[in-house]
Structure 1
Amino acid sequence: MLLQVPAGVQDTVHQAVAAATQTLQQPVAEVSDSYFTLLLKGGWILLPLFLLFALSIYVIIERMVVLKTLGKTDSVWFARIKDLVYEYKFDSAEKFCQASTNSYSKVVEAGLGQVNNDIEAVQTAMQGEATQQIARMEKHLNWLSITASVAPMLGFLGTIFGVINIFFRIAQTNEFEISTIADGLYQKMVSSAVGLFVGIVAYAGYYLLNGRIDTIVANMDKYSNDLVNMLRGGGKK
């Protein structure tokens, strides 16, 4: 004999199954927002974060182009400088440097301009020009450093404002629902995520560009030392 289930229990079970089926059949788009919509829910704090992101991208690209020009060199360039110095054609070597746009040529040119003085004057001139070239290469990099530090804090500030707003509404309405808290909180966490992303981009760009600058500076030192050694040798190979 089969067990008879009361009609009321059957109705309850059928309703539960129908509700579960309806929930499973809902499209994913109804449960989760698109990335763009999610970003818009981050609040007003995203505006300065987007501005900092745009500024960081601009500085990174602009500095990459500048460093590519200032750090461009080849072995033929300095080989020609050597030949002219060994032949005591310092004016020709200086003019040859003037025709180049990289930082190495500017430093060597500064040293060649002091060949009629002692070696110390040549070194001082090259050190002074190297300092100017480094300042030129590091231009605008401070914005990347600032963005890397400020962007995550701005994002966290946006999240804090969102949490304050959530609990303020709870205090005003006396309604405490987990769904309301979770919905508002995940939206405000977007600002923290965006702030971290912007900070990471700026941080990575800052150190990558500084690494490139260090390489250029090392090459400047090499060419400067080579010129000093040639002059100390009296222009003899």
Structure 2
Amino acid sequence: MLYTQADSLAVAQDAAANAEQPVEKTLSIWELLTSGGLGGQLIMIVLGILFFVAIYIFIERLLALKAASKIDKSFMNQIRDHVVHRRFDSAKLLCQHTNSPVSRLVEKGISRIGKPLADINTAIENAGKLEIYSLEKNVSILATISGAGPMIGFLGTVYGMVLAFHEIASGGGQIELDVLASGIYTAMTTTVVGLIIGIFAYISYNYLVVKTDKIINQMEVTATEFLDLLNDPV
């Protein structure tokens, strides 16, 4: 009997010790993102839309710029050979089969051969402006998202803080600290998400700008080379 009572006492003590230990509170990412009330959830939806738009534009422009930067290194040598031997139709056909901004500029110049050089230069410049516009399509949206994302996230944080202090005022200053802390870290989540989106959009924008500038430089070099060829085709 004594052994049984001692056993029961040990079990009771273990149970009491386990009951006194604080239970670790876990929170999934999804719960963290959706626990900000209706206003916080709406802000998260807006941030999510901005994030997917930024990803789509970055991938679409990256593929487009990659395709635009591809050009055969012997392209201008073949164009030079065709122009020197006055095979203009063959030169146009080569440009049409080479789908790139550089080939379209050269094709525009070839179509103006026979006119004053200034007119050819103007035609190439106008075609170049259209190509640059096409290369920079939607890239400015990334710049907008890089600035708007953090601001929208900060708006969510301010909204959450207003609600938290409203709870304090409504409770007459007797609100529990864990409830207040929960509201604050939920509010801060929108700023974190907004900053992540802004950083991604900012880096993506600058990367695409660098890629675009390389293609534009390539276009300028090719245009100059083509005009020099018309000045002295032999």
TM-score where L is the length of structure 2: 0.87
Q: Out of 35, 51, 54, which is 1:53 matched to?
A: 51
Stretch deviating more after TM superposition (181-190 or 157-166): 181-190
CA distance in 1, matches of 2:25, 2:164: 21
Q: Distance in 1 between matches of 2:77 and 2:69?
A: 17
In structure 2, which of residues 99, 103, 106 is the aligned counterpart of residue 105 of structure 1?
103
Percent of aligned positions that are identical: 32
Query: Does the aligned pair in 2 maintain the 1:59–1:141 contact within 8 Å?
Result: yes
Counterpart in the other structure of 1:73: 71
SS in 2 for 1:31: coil
Mean alpha-carbon deviation: is it higher for 175-184 or for 77-86? 175-184
Structure 1 residue 73: deviation in Å? 0.7
From 117, 122, 125, the equivalent of 2:123 is 125
* Contact 1:103 1:133 survives alignment (8 Å): yes
Q: Residue type of the partner of 1:207?
A: N
Find the counterpart in structure 1 of residue 89 from structure 2: 91
Structure 1 spans left out of the alignment, 5+ residues: 1-13
Relative distance call for 1:89 and 1:185 in structure 2 (3 A) is same
- Cα drift, residue 37 of structure 1: 2.0
Question: 2-side partners of 1:32 and 1:122: how far apart?
Answer: 69
8 Å contact 1:41–1:188 — kept in the other structure?
Answer: no
For residue 36 of structure 1, what is the aligned residue in structure 2?
30
Amino acid at match of 2:230: L
Letter in 2 for 1:127: E
How well do the aligned residues superpose, as a CA RMSD in angstroms?
Answer: 1.8
The equivalent residue for 2:187 is: 188
For 2:214 and 2:20, the matched residues in 1 are separated by 63
1:56–1:144 Cα contact (<8 Å) kept: yes
Which amino acid letter does the alignment assign opposite residue 151 of structure 1?
G
CA distance in 2, matches of 1:176, 1:169: 7
CA contact (8 A) 2:167 2:175 kept: no
CA distance in 2, matches of 1:121, 1:56: 40
Looking at structure 2, the residues matched to 58 and 127 of structure 1 have their Cα atoms a distance apart, in angstroms, of 30
Contact persistence 2:153–2:193 (CA under 8 A): yes
| 2:32 aligned partner, one-letter code | L
Q: Which amino acid aligns with 1:190?
A: T
How far residue 18 of structure 1 moved from its aligned partner, in angstroms, is: 3.1
Matched, 1:162 2:156: no
Q: Distance in 2 between matches of 1:111 and 1:58?
A: 35
Secondary structure, aligned partner of 2:74: helix
Local SS of the residue matching 1:139: coil
TM-score scaled by length of structure 1: 0.85
How many residues are aligned here?
216
Tell me which residue corresponds to 1:10. Answer: none
CA distance in 2, matches of 1:218, 1:188: 46
**Residue matched to 2:148:** 150
The letter for the 1-side match of 2:33 is: L
Q: Please, which runs of 5 or more residues in structure 2 have no aligned partner?
A: 1-12
Match of 1:219 in 2: 218
2:208 aligned residue = 209
Matches of 2:66 and 2:81 in 1, distance apart?
A: 26
Task: Tell me the amino acid that sits aligned with residue 232 of structure 1.
Answer: N
- Contact 1:49/1:151 (8 A) holds in 2: yes
